[in-house]
Amino acid sequence: MPEAFTDSSVLEHVRKLPHARATYKQLVRELRLHGEKRDDLDKVLDRLCDSGLLVELRSGHFAAVGENADYVAGRLSIHRDGFGFLIPDTGKSDVFLPPHEAEKGMNGDRALVHITRMSGEGRAEGEILRILRRAHVTVVGEFRVRKRGNFVAPSDERLQQWIEIPEGMELPAASASPANRVGPAPRTVGSHEDLDGMVVNVEILEFPEDGQPAVGRVIEILGFPDEFGVDVEIMIRKHHLPHEFPPDVLEQARAVPHSIGAGEMAKRRDFRDVAIVTIDGETARDFDDAVRVEPLPNGHYLLQVHIADVSHYVRPGTPIDREALLRGTSVYFPDRAVPMLPIELSTDICSLRPQEDRLVLSALLEIDRQGEIVAQQFMRGVIRSAERMTYTNVFRVLEGDAAMRERYAKLVPHFEHMRDLALILNRKRTKRGSIDFDMPESNIELDLSGQMIGVTRAERNIAHRIIEEFMLAANEAVAGELEHAEIPSLYRIHEIPEAKRVMEFEEIAAHFGYSLGIGAIPVKRYPIAQKRRDGGKTRKDIVLPQDLRISSRNYQRLINKIAGKPEERILSYLMLRSLKQARYSERNEGHFALAAQAYTHFTSPIRRYPDLVVHRILAHYLDTKSGLLESRALREIGDDTSFTERRAAEAERELIEWKKVKFMEDRVGDEFDALIISTTKFGFFVELTELFIEGLAPIETLPGDHYRYHENGRKIIGERTRKTYSIGDQVRVRLDRADSFDRKLQFAIAAAVVRKKSKKR
C-alpha cells in the first residue's frame, strides 16, 4: 500500500474483498497501517460512511454499499399518499418504503436504506438507516395559525408533514432587502396572527424523526398566494434556485472592464468588418450567438458561428464562477428570469449587442452541398454585430415583405444564403436519422400586471430553423474536434431508450394502426403472484430482451407517417415520453435523437455552465493542444449541471401549470374540446385542444355506467354499455373544479359523443 492512501483506494479495497465486507482490524492489517495512519483510516471510514459509500454494520464492521445487496444509497421520492421509494444511485430497481419509513425523510433527501424484504418478483422493500444529505434546508409554504400552535403547510405536496413554528420563531429578523433580488422585496407584518394564510419561507431547525414533525423558523414573508409575483417567488424557493448574487460576486462583476485592451485584440482574429448578425426572440436580452453565411467559389458555404467568449471574463475558481456552477443554468419564467451570471455580464459585457465590440470564440465551418463539413477551424475572435435581428423580421424578409427587405437591403442576400444552408443541413440530419419532433409549445400571454390572459401556440418559422441548424452544426463540430484530438471534454449525451418503454409505446401505437417497425420481439410471459395494489386482477408482465435493437430512424419514419394526421399530436407526445432524458457526461455515448456520434453544448455560455466549461476546454486546446480537466472533474460537473438543468425545467414547467390553473378559475362550468392523452385506474387526462391545458376527468364522474380501467388495453370501459375511453379519443369536457393550491384541474364529460381516433388505412 502506498504511503498516502485515499477514500477511493480504501473503498476499492473493501469492494474487492469477499462479500465486499471488512473489519477495521482487517483493514489496518491488510493496508499495513501504523501510528498516525490508523487515525487517518478512521477519518476515511467516517467520510465513506457519511457519504453512503460504506455502511457500518456494527462497531468496526463495514460493507460497501451497492456491492452488498442488502444496502443501497439513493434519492427519496415521497408520494403524496405517504409511501415512498428510494431511487438508487446505481440505476438498480427502486426500493419501496412504507409510510412509517417514508416519514423519516423528506422528498429529495439522499438516504441509505437496508433491504428488509424481497418479493417473489424481485421487488425490494426497505427501511431508512440514515439520511445522508438533506434536500430541504428551507421550505416554502402557507403559514397556519391553529389553537395547538403555529405551522407551515409546505407548497410541495410531496412534503407531507406540516412544519411546527415555535413561539418566538414566527417573524423573521429585520434585514435590508438586497439590491440584487430577482423579485419584490419581502413583506413585513405586525404580529404572527397577521401571517395566517400568507406564504413564508422557513429554515428547518429540526428535521422529522421518529414520527415527530419538523421544526423551523420563518426567515421570509412573501405575501398572499394570489398577490402579484408571489407565484414566482414560491417556485424559486420550492426548487431551491439561487436567486441573490452574493456581494463578492457583484463586486467582481462590476469591476470587469468594458473596454478591450490592445494586447487582447492582438491575440484574436478581427471580424469587425464582416456583416455578422444575431437572431433571437423579440424579448431576448442576452445574445450568446451571432452568425454569417457566405457562398464560396467552389460551390460550398462558409458558416461562421461566433459565440460570446464568457470564459475570458469568468475564470475558474472565482466568485462568479462558483456562483455560476451553483446555478448551472439561467431559469426563465413568463415575467422574469433568474440569470446564471450577473446582469453586468449576461446582458452587457458578454452579450453580443449590435454595433459594440465583443469577444467571441468562433467556429468557421466549410460545408458542401450535401451538408457535410469538409473543413473546420476554431479560434478566438472579436466581432461587431451589424444588427440585432428577430425571428419575426428575418421571416418577413425571407417571405418577401417589401418594407423589411428594403430596411435590411444589405443583409437580404445573407439571409437567403442562411435559409439555403439551413435546409441543406436539415436534409442531411434527416437522412442520417435525426429525430425532429414538431411538438406545439404554448406561449403564455400576460397583461401589464403580470396576470395570465391567454395561451397561444408559440410560432416557429424558417428563422428559428436557421439558428437551430447552425447551433447544432457548431456543437457537433466542437464535439468532433475534441473527440478526434482525444481531449477530455463534457458531452451532451442521449442514450438509447429502454426496451420496456419502447414496447409500451408499441402497444399504444398498435391501437392507432402504427408501429416503430422494430419487428416481432420474442417475449417470455409469466403471471404476477402478488395482487396489484389497485385491487384489480393480476395481469401478465412482459420480460423484454436486453438486446432490443432500436434506431432513431424507427422514430423518424413513424414521425413522417403520422405528419398531418389527427393522431400526430398524441403519438409524438408518447414517442417523446418513451425516450430517455438527455444529460451531460464526460463519456461520449452519442446522441440518439440527433443521430450524432459526438455532441456537446458550446453555443450558450451566458446561460449554461456546461457551455462555459467546453469553451475553457476548447480554448486551452487551441493554446496547448492538450487537455484541461480530468475525467473525474468533468464527471462531477456533468452530474451537477444535469441536476440543475432538471431543477430549472421543473420550476419553469410547474409555474406555467400553476398560471394555467389560475387562468381557468373563472372558467369553471365552461365546455371545451379536448384530447385524451393518458388513461389510468382513476380516470383519464385530457389536453384542451386550443389552450394546451391539461386536467383529469375522474373515472367516478363518467356518465351513464360504472367504469373500470383495463390495464392491458389501457382503456376505460363501461361494465354495462361497453362504452370505452382510450388514448387519442376526442371528447367534449366541462371544467368542474380549478384547485389553485394543488394546481390541478378537474373535468367531466360534457357530451355523450366520443369521437374515436382514426386507425391508419
Q: What confidence category does residue 3 fall into, taking pLDDT thresholds of 50, 70 and 90?
A: very low
Average confidence (pLDDT) over 722-740: 91
Residue 640 has a CB neighbour count (10 Å cut-off) of: 16
β-strands 724-726, 715-718: how paired?
antiparallel
Q: Residues 727, 570: contact at Cβ < 8 Å?
A: yes
Q: Which CATH architecture does the domain made up of 71-133 adopt?
A: Beta Barrel (2.40)
Asked if the model's pLDDT at residue 244 lies above 80, the reply is: yes
Check: CB of residue 389 under 8 Å from CB of residue 410: no
In this predicted structure, the answer to whether residue 390 has a pLDDT above a threshold of 80 is yes
Q: What are phi and psi for residue 696, nearest 5 degrees?
A: -105, 135
Helix axes 319-327, 631-664, angle to 10 degrees: 60
Could you tell me which of 238, 251, 233, 232 has the C-alpha nearest to residue 179? 251
What dihedral do alpha carbons 272, 273, 275, 280 form, nearest 10°?
10
* Closest C-alpha to 186, from 219, 216, 144, 156: 219
Whether 237 has a pLDDT exceeding 80, the answer reads: yes
Confidence of residue 178 (pLDDT cuts 50, 70, 90): very low
What's the pLDDT score for residue 188? 65
Lowest mean pLDDT among 146-155, 297-306, 445-454, 739-748: 445-454
Instruction: Count CB atoms within 10 A of the CB of residue 176.
Output: 6
Length of the chain: 761
The yes-or-no answer to whether 138-238 and 668-749 have a common fold is yes
Among 119-128, 134-143, 160-169, 328-337, name the one with the lowest average pLDDT. Answer: 119-128
Predicted local distance difference test score (pLDDT) of residue 189: 67
Helices 609-624, 631-664: crossing angle, 10 deg rounding: 150
Cβ atoms 80, 134 nearer than 8 A: no
Q: Please compute the mean of the pLDDT values over residues 468-495 and round it to a whole number.
A: 97
> To 10 degrees, what angle do helices 552-562 and 568-578 make?
170
Please indicate whether residue 685 or residue 754 has the higher confidence score (pLDDT).
685
What integer pLDDT is reported at residue 285 of this predicted model? 87
Q: Any idea which of 225-239, 385-399, 431-445 has the lowest mean pLDDT?
A: 431-445
What rounded mean pLDDT belongs to the chain? 87
Structural domain spans, the chain: 7-64, 71-133, 138-238, 258-430+439-485+599-653, 495-581, 668-749
What is the Cα–Cα distance from 380 to 315, expressed in whole angstroms?
A: 16
Please tell me which residue, 250 or 33, carries the higher pLDDT value.
Answer: 250
Nearest to 602 by CA among 302, 361, 351, 436: 361
Q: How far is CA 576 from CA 53, 496, 700, in A?
A: 35, 13, 30
Asked if 380 and 620 touch (Cβ cutoff 8 Å), the reply is: no
Q: Provide the angle, in degrees to the nearest 10, between the axes of the packed helices 462-484 and 609-624.
A: 50
Q: Which helix (H) or strand (E) holds 661?
A: helix 631-664
Confidence of residue 642 (pLDDT cuts 50, 70, 90): very high
pLDDT at 754: 56
pTM value is 0.85
Percent above pLDDT 90 for the chain:
58
Q: Which residue has the higher pLDDT, 97 or 56?
A: 97
pLDDT band for position 187 (cuts 50, 70, 90): low
Helix (H) or strand (E) holding 151: strand 149-154
Distance from C-alpha of 81 to C-alpha of 587, rounded to nearest angstrom: 39
What 3-state class would DSSP assign to 169?
coil
The DSSP secondary-structure symbol of 531 reads P
* Whole-number pLDDT of residue 752: 52
Q: What is the 3-state secondary structure (H, E, C) of 712-740?
A: CCCEEEECCCCCEEECCCEEEEEEEEEEC
Q: What is the mean pLDDT of residues 305-325?
A: 98
Report whether pLDDT(203) > 90. yes
Q: What's residue 714's pLDDT?
A: 85
Cα–Cα nearest to 586, from 543, 546, 640: 640
What pLDDT was estimated at residue 279? Answer: 97
Is the pLDDT confidence value at 525 over 70? no
CATH number of the domain located at residue range(s) 668-749 in this protein: 2.40.50.140
Confidence of residue 523 (pLDDT cuts 50, 70, 90): very low
pLDDT at residue 181 is higher than 70: no
Pick the CATH number of 138-238 from 3.90.1150.10, 3.30.428.10, 3.40.190.150, 2.40.50.700: 2.40.50.700
Segment among 275-284, 443-452, 658-667 with least mean pLDDT: 443-452
β partners of residue 380: 361
Q: What is the average pLDDT across 147-163?
A: 88
Tell me how far apart the alpha carbons of residues 733 and 746 are, in angstroms, rounded to a whole number. Answer: 10
